[in-house]
Copies of this chain bind each other. A is one copy, B any other.
Amino acid sequence: MADTTWKEKAAEKREALLSSIPLEWRLPAPLPPPAELPNVTGPEIRKYLSAREIEITETSAVYIIRKTSSGEWRCEDVVRAFCHRAAVAHQMINCLHEMFFDAAIHDAKTLDAYFAEHGKPLGPLHGLPVSLKDTIHVSNVDTSMGIIGWLDTFEGQPLLEKTSRPESTIVTHLRTLGAIHYVKTSVPQGSFAGETINHIVGHTPNPSNRNLVVGGSSGGEGGLLALYGSPIGLGTDIGGSIRLPASFNGCYGLKPSTGRLPFQGIASIVDGESAIPFVVGPMGHSVADLVFLTKALLAVEPWRSDPGDHELPWRDEVCETVRSRFRGKGERLAFGVMYSDGIVNPQPPVARALGEAVQLLKSLGHTVIEWKPPPHAEALTIWRENITIDGGHAFHSALSLSGEPATPTVFGSKPSAPVDATEVMRRTIALRNYRKAYLDYWNSTAALTGTGKPVDALIAPVHHGPPPAMGKVRYMGYTCAFNVLDYSVSVIPVTRARKDIDVYPSNYSPLNKMDSIVHDDYNANLLDGAPVGIQIIGQRLQEETVLALSEEISWELGRGQVPRL
Contacts and interface: CB of A to CB of B under 8 A. Distances in A.
A390 B273 CA distance: 16
A549 B419 CA distance: 45
Interface string A428-439: 110010011011
A439 B272 contact: no
A81 interface: no
Interface string A293-316: 000000000011111101110000
Contacts of A439: 304-307
A1 to B, nearest CB: 23
A369 B210 CA distance: 62
A429 B312 contact: no
Interface string A411-429: 0000000111111111111
A318 to B, nearest CB: 10
A373 interface: no
B443 A305 contact: yes
A424 B304 contact: no
A559 interface: no
Given A307-B432, A307-B435, A312-B311, A424 B275 contact: no
Interface in A36-61: none
Nearest to A435: B307
Interface residues of A, number: 46
B389 A271 contact: no
A390 B305 contact: no
A316 to B, nearest CB: 15
Interface string A127-171: 000000000000000000000000000000000000000000000
Contacts of A485: 307
The binding surface of chain A is classed by DSSP as loop
A540 interface: yes
Nearest to A388: B421
A394 interface: yes
Contacts of A305: 439-440, 443
Given A272-B425, A419-B421, A420-B421, A308 B393 contact: no
Interface centre among A389, A443, A485 (most CB of B within 10 A): A389
A541 interface: yes
Interface centre among A305, A391, A421 (most CB of B within 10 A): A421
Interface in A262-302: 264, 270-275
Interface in A463-491: 485-486
Contacts of A486: 307
Interface centre among A310, A419, A425 (most CB of B within 10 A): A425
A428 B270 CA distance: 11
Contacts of A429: 271-272
Given A275-B274, A429-B271, A307 B422 contact: no
A67 B386 CA distance: 51
